[in-house]
Amino acid sequence: HRAYNPLGAIGVITAFNFPCAVLGWNAAISLVCGNVQVWKGASTTCLTTVAITRIMAEVFEANNLPGAIVSTAMGGGRDIGERIINDQRLSLISFTGSTQVGRRVSEIVHRRFGRTILELGGNNAVIVMPDADLELVIRGSVFSAVGTAGQRCTSLRRLLIHEDVFDEVVDRMQKAYATVCIGDPLDESTLVGPLHTEAAIQEYE
């Protein structure tokens, strides 16, 4: 026998790069357990946030439940995000974003004995052993590194290559990167599109 004990109201703060998926993962668990939630999507994906909230509210209302079970708070992180993480009525905060901001979220929420779910920046590696399928290594590594222009926590950042296959992997990787098409994200032949914002460009530079 399994019993779910609702926490009451929770807060969900998501990043720009997976504006629907991360909310879906959080909402599915939260709602099944009987909670209500306040969601703050990224300020650069506010239309997505509004659309998804409206769809979820319509589903609840069609089933004779209040649409406000899934509410949205719109605005910048320094304004709305700060209010959410400091609100003692929200017993759990789920935050997806940078390690720096996640550390602050953890400190503030745990100071009031709240709970957190933190999905922060990654530093992912692929380990390449001598018996690896090098064609799969190259294809998977390139896509993992450059897909979404590297703007996700699951992006590949490092290759740890066994010395027996090091030279071959590096050579094949260089050739693969030479074929990567950078351009318009609406063009199906494009693999690397633009960075998300001007601020992201400045950080990259």
Q: Which residues are catalytic?
A: 119, 153
What is the spatial distance between Cα 124 and Cα 52, in angstroms, rounded to a whole number?
A: 30
Q: How far is CA 201 from the centre of its chain?
A: 19
Question: What is the phi/psi pair of residue 156, to 5°?
Answer: -75, 130
Q: Decide if 64 contacts 57 (C-beta within 8 A).
A: no
Position 10, amino acid: I
What's the token pair of residue 36?
A: 């209500």
Q: Decide if 66 contacts 60 (C-beta within 8 A).
A: yes
Centre a 10 Å sphere on the Cβ of residue 125 and count the other Cβ atoms it contains: 11
Query: On the CB side of 126, how many CA atoms lie within 13 Å of its CA?
Result: 21
What is the spatial distance between Cα 53 and Cα 39, in angstroms, rounded to a whole number?
A: 9
**CB within 8 A of 125, min separation 6: which ones?**
156, 157, 158, 159, 160
CA triplet 126, 116, 157: central angle to 5 degrees?
15
